[in-house]
Amino acid sequence: MLERLDYVKLAPRRILDAGSGPSPQAAELLKRYGAAELVALDFSLPMLQALPRPGWLGRLAGRRAPVPVCADLGRIPLASRSCALVWSNMALHWAADPQLAIGEFQRVLEVEGLLMFSTVGPDTLKELRAAFPGAGGAPHVHGFIDMHDLGDMLVAAGFAAPVMDTETITLTYESVDAMVADLRATGQTCALGGRARGLLGRGRWKLARAALERGLREGRLPATIEVVYGHAWKPAPRRTPEGHAIVNLGPVRKR
């Protein structure tokens, strides 16, 4: 995502890092856009408390820290048209209502502002999902939104000319336990409202392990990650808040 900014002409006064976590790209964004204020928004207060902060030498050199805001993606407490860039890296799939979050991104963007985001697509963790065949049981792996559906959401929210693409990354692990430990360590646990609240039965977990181990390739367990990238611009409005059409007559010359 940072590399893609090389092809964008932008001089933002305010950047919103939506679903920032500890904002690992904060330093790069502030270095790239030295005059910008960076707002780091996340639902998790401990994540915001882990935001990078410059030491006294950094402060003397004029380096600034992100401004933390603890809030939900679906209810962003910023004024409309107050940001020139909304940056959302690997956060949208955690939103309870992605369409609502995308609508909020559009609202807080200035006209001609840019939304740039990444998330994960439906092939993500397909091996793990297949290991838990659903026979009326609670889900164990999130279902993720297809790239084309995300594009439709952007258009529905009022964005212009969305550009979407995907990248498939295959991670490999030496064992099922190593894969599960990595998912837990990076916070990729099931947060579905309909998930099972108790412990997974020993018999069902044994069947799931066996299903995963049947997928070993050259002694390694694969885990697919489908990364979805998207960006779109906020166009000038076509209607007033009252619903009247806006007609651009172009420059008018006085006689």
* Count of structural domains within the chain: 1
Name the DSSP class of 138. P
- Residue-range definition of the domain harbouring residue 158: 3-122+142-166+224-233
User: For 203-218, what is the mean pLDDT?
Assistant: 80
Whether the Cβ atoms of residue 222 and residue 215 lie closer than 8 Å to each other: yes
Residue 180 in this model has a pLDDT that exceeds 90:
no
Q: What is the pLDDT of residue 130?
A: 84
pLDDT at 246 over 70: no
Query: What is the spatial distance between Cα 229 and Cα 113, in angstroms, rounded to a whole number?
Result: 17
Contact assessment for residue 140 and residue 192, using Cβ atoms and an 8 Å cutoff: no
Output the six-digit token pair for 79: 């004024």
In-domain check, residue 101:
yes
Beta-carbon contacts of 89 under 8 Å, excluding residues fewer than 6 positions away, are 1, 17, 19, 24, 25, 117, 118
> Mean pLDDT across the stretch 82-93?
96
86 inside domain: yes
Is residue 22 within 8 Å of residue 47, measured between CB atoms?
Answer: yes
Which structure tokens are listed for 252?
């008018």
Whether residue 162 has pLDDT greater than 80: yes
CA geometry: angle 89, 143, 229, nearest 5 deg: 30
What value, to the nearest 5°, has the Cα angle with vertex 54 and ends 53 and 56? 130
* Of residues 203 and 7, more confidently modeled: 7
Residue 175 falls within a domain, yes or no? no
pLDDT, one tens digit per residue, over 25-76 is 999 999 999 899 999 999 999 999 999 887 666 565 566 889 999 999 999 9
Percent of the chain clearing pLDDT 70 (strictly above): 80
Average pLDDT, the chain: 85
Q: How many CB atoms lie within 10 A of CB 20?
A: 26
Q: DSSP string of 73-99?
A: TTS--S-TT-EEEEEEES-GGG-S-HH
Question: Counting Cβ atoms within 10 Å, is residue 86 exposed (0-12), middle (13-18) or buried (19+)?
Answer: buried
Instruction: Answer whether residue 111 shows pLDDT above 60.
Output: yes
Taking every pair of C-alpha atoms in the chain, what is the biggest distance, in angstroms? 86
For residue 150, pLDDT over 70 is answered with yes
Cα separation, 72 vs 95, in Å, equals 8
Is 106 inside a domain boundary? yes
Which candidate, 224, 211, 226, places its Cα nearest to that of 132?
211
Give the pLDDT of residue 136: 46
Q: What is the pLDDT of residue 135?
A: 42
Residue 173 bridge partners (DSSP): 221
Domain CATH for 84 = 3.40.50.150
CA–CA gap between residue 224 and residue 127 (Å, rounded): 7
Mean pLDDT is lowest, of 151-155, 180-184, 202-206, for 202-206
In a domain, 35, yes or no: yes
Is 201 a domain residue? no
Establish if 69 belongs to a structural domain.
yes
pTM of the model: 0.83
| H helix and E strand count, the chain | 8, 7
Residue 45 lies in a domain: yes
133 confidence band (pLDDT: 50, 70, 90): low
Is a pLDDT exceeding 70 seen at residue 9? yes
Residue 221 has pLDDT above 70, yes or no: yes
Share of the chain above pLDDT 90, in %: 60
Mean pLDDT of 77-85: 97
